[in-house]
Every structure is written in C-alpha cells, then in structure tokens.
Amino acid sequence: MLKNKRMTVTGGKGFLGHHLINRLNEYGCLSIDIADLPEYNLTDPADIRRMFDTTKPDIVIHLAAKVGGIGFNQEKPAELFYDNIMMGTQLIHEAWLHKIEKFVALGTICAYPKFTPVPFKEEDLWNGYPEETNAPYGLAKKMMLVQSQAYRQQYGFNSIFLLPVNLYGPGDNFDPHSSHVIPALIKKCMDAIDNHSNKLEVWGTGSATREFFYVEDAAAAICMAADSYEKSLPVNIGAGFEISIKDLTELIARLAGFKGEIIWDASKPDGQPRRMLDTSKALNEFKFKAKTDLTTGLNKTIEWYKENRHHLNK
C-alpha cells in the first residue's frame, strides 16, 4: 500500500520520527513530508489546513505529541491534555475533509486503566481509569481511537490506532526535565561516573514493572500496520516482556559502568504498578514481532549517548 504514496509524518523531526522516516524510505514511497514545529503548529487549525494543502498526502502517520516522564506529567497536566487532544482531533477531521486514503494514529500505553491485568489486552482498554499521574495525556490520546472509530462508522474514513509501549533507543530525549526512565537513568549513571560519585538516586521503590520497545522495532511495526492493517480495532505494538525498574536500573548501571550504590527515593511515585502488552494481535494482523532484546538495545542506546552527550549537554 505504501509504494508510490505521498506520506506525511507529523512529529517527523522527533525521536521516533527520525527512525520511522528511515524505514519508510525502504517502501518506495513517492514522497515523505514532515509536519512539525516550527513550520507547523499542529494545535492550530489554520496550520493543519496549510499542511494538508502543501504536502497533499495520501497517508498521514501521526506521531506528534507533547510527552514526558512522571515529573513532567505532574507539572504540566493541562498542557499535555490540551495540546494532544487538539492535535489529534483536528488532524483526523481535516484528514477526512481532505479525503486522504489512510490515517495512522499513535496512541499510548498510558491510555490503559491503572490496574489492567498483565499482559494488557486491547479488550481491556476501557475497563477503568488510567494511572493518575499520566491520565490527562493518556485520555487525550485515547480520544483519537473514539474519533477514528466514529469517523469510520459514519463516513467510511480509513484510520487505524496503534498503542505503543515505552520506546527507547539512539536519539532518545535525554533532557532531565522531560525524559523517560531509560534515558534518564543512562544520563544519571554517566553523570555520576563523571563526578566520581558513588551514589545514584532513583525515584520510587523500584517495584513497578515496565516493558520497553526498541525504537527501530517500533518504526518497523508502524510501517507494517500502515501498509496492511485496515481495521478499527486498536492494536498493541511492543516487545512483549516486562522488567522491574529495580532490575532495569541495575542493568543500565552495569552496562554504563557505574559501580556505586543505588538509593531509592520512596517518597516519589512509582507510576502504574505494572505494564506489559499482549502483542499477539500485531503478529496475527500484520505479522509484526519485535527483534531487539533489551540488553542489545540498551548497549546501542548507551553507546549513542556516549558519542553525542557533549553536544546534547551544551
């Protein structure tokens, strides 16, 4: 389906966007355009219309999002809700008005209820309220699923909704104010080594579990779904395993070369108790299965950070 198509990727300058565009180049697309700041403010309907009129896409892959870790979600819940819901709602509506062939919406694992049975199945998506620290973000992204299904039912509009788990890999966001757990831990380990510190402080108790999805695998999954998946039902994309934050922290410390003591700040929140996806639907519907194991992915991410950290820390 993607061959000879005009593609527009929102958020294409970002972490996932960079890897996705590299993968799309293998599909023989006619063109690949990026819709991102500062050229396009995707919360502004005028900019969205201008984007559609300028890039004239056949297919839109919507990656753009305002995101962050637990601290950022606690500080900016209103911004996270408003920016994400306005982007998704207006992009899908304008995509329908412009009669594009397909819209691929990227949701978030934060849309799942706080106490979803593990592994998370798509059928459990509406069985409770999301974990409080990231509910505004998760619910804003989840509204794209409601809109996608409503527009398919009423207008026959072809849109799909994918639910990726936590991403990581080369090119990740290492800004301590907004980064997620893996880049935050890598930076903390490297900073501690630089400062000759023998202590590393980490938020929470370490008991929460997470699943981590290597970014190049995520790009492959999105392309495969964009190419062949045509149904309204949401689909999880992930690696299909879980690891405790404690074990993850110890693994990153070992791979990064930090040999000191890890101190847990239990006054800080753990976030959702457990996260792991059931990824069987992605395998059944469009033959996707993750290829990169966690240790391999972490080593590649750590090496990338070592090579680029001085530029990033300027």
Cα separation, 66 vs 107, whole angstroms: 12
Cα separation, 63 vs 239, whole angstroms: 19
| Contact (CB, 8 A) for 152 and 232 | yes
Beta bridge partners of 120: 277
**137 flagged as catalytic:** yes
Cα separation, 229 vs 219, whole angstroms: 15
Catalytic residue selected from 137, 214, 229, 305: 137
Phi, psi values for residue 153, rounded to 5°: -65, -45
Closest CA to 80 of 72, 92, 71: 72
Three-state secondary structure readout of 27-58: HCCCEEEEECCCCCCCCCHHHHHHHHHHHCCC
From residue 13, how far is each of 199, 235, 262, 280 by CA, in Å? 35, 24, 35, 30
In three-state secondary structure terms, 132 is helix
Active site residues: 137
